[in-house]
Chain A
Amino acid sequence: MLSLTGRLPDPAGDRSVLAHGIGGARDLPISPELAIAGAVAALIVSFTVLTLAWRSPRYDAATTGRPAPRALAAAVDAPAFAVVLRVVGMALFLFTAWTAVFGEDLLINPFFGMFYVLLWVGIVPASLLFGPVWRAISPVRTLNRLLGLVTGSDPGQGLLTYPVRLGYWPAAIGLFAFVWLELVFPQSTELGPVRLWCAAYVAVMLVGGALFGDDFYEHADPFEVYSTLVGKLSAWGRRDGVLVVRSPLANLDTVVARPGLVAVVAVLFGSTAYDSFQDSSVWLRFTQAHLDQARLLDNVALLTFCVGVGAIFAVGCATSGVEASQCRWALPDLFAHSVVPIIVGYIVAHYLSYFVEVGQQTLILMSDPMSQGSNLLGTADLEVNYWLSYHPTFLATSKVVAVVLGHVLGVVAAHDRALRLLPRQHQMTGQLPLLVAMVAFTVGGLYLLFAS
């Protein structure tokens, strides 16, 4: 999480003055009591689910979900609704591009907040509430459509077929490129490099879309894959094209396992864990004692966290009991959806106050995109509400509740999938290594919230 703080030179002298009020303060660590309570709850829930929960699989994409109310479905399925969403997405994109290209290289430029906070963090609550949001507003999909209109080709179809074995790997790489920019790259709050990153993203998306059509966005757009994955924890789904309301767990079960899904969840969870870890005093003292290698150490640590999460999960899945005919190493992708709630729980814990407070700040700054003192949206004179930061006990409790809730959903999702995938004699014991991996993630996450 970036500290979006900056300053300006004082024209009246060489002294610096505050540029704006975005806070640099981070959340206090959670108390050991809360961390232990959360870890114990996670353990108890895990084994309760394992021993007491249902014994035959419940979730089936073909049967779960009730059709949404007819009026709602009609409104959502209306072509006008899709157009409105595309226009909104495109307007936000153009506004962001305007600030990126013509705005000042200052942290009072709302570009940074819109990119790092509203897009990257906001994509999670938006998708949790409304489902696959990015897919509906994605400016790169819209641009691809517009290009198709101009050239008279079908934008949904590319020149080539998207290779199945690539799966979500391009998205995993794109997500890693994002977290690398945010967490490791030293100039992550300078306009030029971030703008370049965004330009590269748009370019790759347009070329990919031209080559492979809409399939490319579904598999390779890092923001769309992230949003669609989190959207599976929303209540909204589709069954044979019909809008249905499902329980989030039943909806989560409809995640299609493709190659690279483990890499996607590993990057998402590993990078967030690294973000907590890099703020810890231990890591700070270590890197400051080895200043000449600090950048290398940060890069290695980020990669280690992501690969480590993926490896722990893959081994946890692959060491479960299978039949001789089953391929062990196909299991990690088939179970990867169950890490999504754990990720979301941890993201909530990690970003809650940041999103609420820096998000408000960004909405205020968006009124003055060119840093001229304008008040375009009428928000310039509002003030950030720091209620959450002033109630650290409430904040810490919410964070632990989010982590434990995410763990519960993850364990239930994995249990149901295990009932479907594992041979009957291994259904109990076979889940154990995976359960250990999930408890490790949750307890590790709580430890980082406690220690950083």
Chain B
Amino acid sequence: MTLASRGRAVTVVALLLLVGVYVRALMFTPLERFQGAAQKIFYLHVPAAWSAMLAMGLVGLASVLYLILRDARFDRFAAASAEVGTAFCVVMLTTGPLWARPVWGTWWTWDARLTLTLFLFFLYIGYLLLRQAVTDPGVRARYSAVLGICGTVLLPFIHLSVYLFRTLHPQPIVLKPSAPSLPGVMLVTLLYSFGVFTLLYVGFVMQRYAVGEEGAHV
């Protein structure tokens, strides 16, 4: 069984579990009384944000390892993770405004969390464009690694921006020093969705890595 076919199998399982997230979130998780149905966007938005950040974190880690070990597999992994992270970033940046419009009364506001998240998206796009623009594999890997590390440096600022700046964005409800502040049934749905989005990330990266591996042998 090749890496690509294993990645496809993981993706199919993750997609089936994602159907479960939809069913659980829409039919078996109660409405939040102040935000109404729009609050349920949270079960997709937050895990998508988690996957986008996980992806960039692993791009940075693989980039550091590439610069130290000069092993092309780390560069291929970083490229795969960046592309997958871009897809999750698109989900995060579309579901966020769809939640903000009914709850805040505006699609977008230039506060620290939202602006830094948009910057992360631009970094992803810049990373992918850089890889397309540089033809020499060694130079491409080195330049991409530097940009990947820069992207990773952004992550703590995004996470802490709600503490460091005055912002409309809600504070973390799960990834925080104290216990999660959600009713149990909502927390279970959220954690289930976290797991599914992480599995989707794994399946996507396995497939995308296989595409890069093939390109490296041409």
B is bound to A:
no
A residues contacting B by CB (< 8 A) are: none
B residues engaging A (CB < 8 A)?
none
